[in-house]
Amino acid sequence: MRLVILDRDGVINQDSDQYIKCPAEWQAIPGSLTAIAQLNRAGVKVAVATNQSGIARGLFATDTLDAIHIRMQTELAAVGGQIDHLVYCPHGPDEGCVCRKPEPGLYHQIAAYFGCSLSGVPVIGDSARDLAAAVRVGAHPIRVLTGKGARTAQEPAWAPVPAFADLQQTVPYLLEQLT
């Protein structure tokens, strides 16, 4: 099976330091939805793993997060794409859970869902925590410069990780890696 794991905020949609708190605040990064559709058409399964501590912080409820994801899926469907599996961590940074990236729990959930190893699976993220979780499960971390990606690019530990301007720019590389 060919699989790609994406972070959400900063990779698929615009990120905000004030959090994406409602469907109206969710705005796709130009080209990200067509990139996902292109992967789908090539037979690649697309999973999303996202930290959503806004729930723990009381900024929005789980049903609001569901509505945000419905908007994302609806906009994706309009361009012929879909997310095959989505997992999120609702915990705050101080709760000590195993699912909040950089912990690998979300990625383990994806592996269990698809019944596969994540060894070498491309994981696209904009933050160091996305990349660190990928390394912990033996996946192949890839950086995008959207979202927090420009900040992450300043961290020397992530310099050797392949980097692209945005999700759309990763598609040729991903398709080559997944052949």
Q: Catalytic amino acids?
A: 7, 9
The strand pair at 163-164 and 140-144 is best described as: parallel
- Rounded to whole angstroms, the Cα distance separating 52 from 157 reads 25
Question: Could you tell me which of 28, 6, 13 has the C-alpha nearest to residue 131?
Answer: 6
Separation in Å, CA 26 to CA 37, 136, 145, 177: 18, 29, 19, 30
Query: CA–CA separation, 158 vs 178, rounded Å?
Result: 22
Structure tokens at 178: 């997944």
Asked whether the beta carbons of 164 and 126 are under 8 A apart, the reply is no
* Backbone phi, psi, residue 37, to 5°: -60, -40
Centre a 10 Å sphere on the Cβ of residue 38 and count the other Cβ atoms it contains: 20
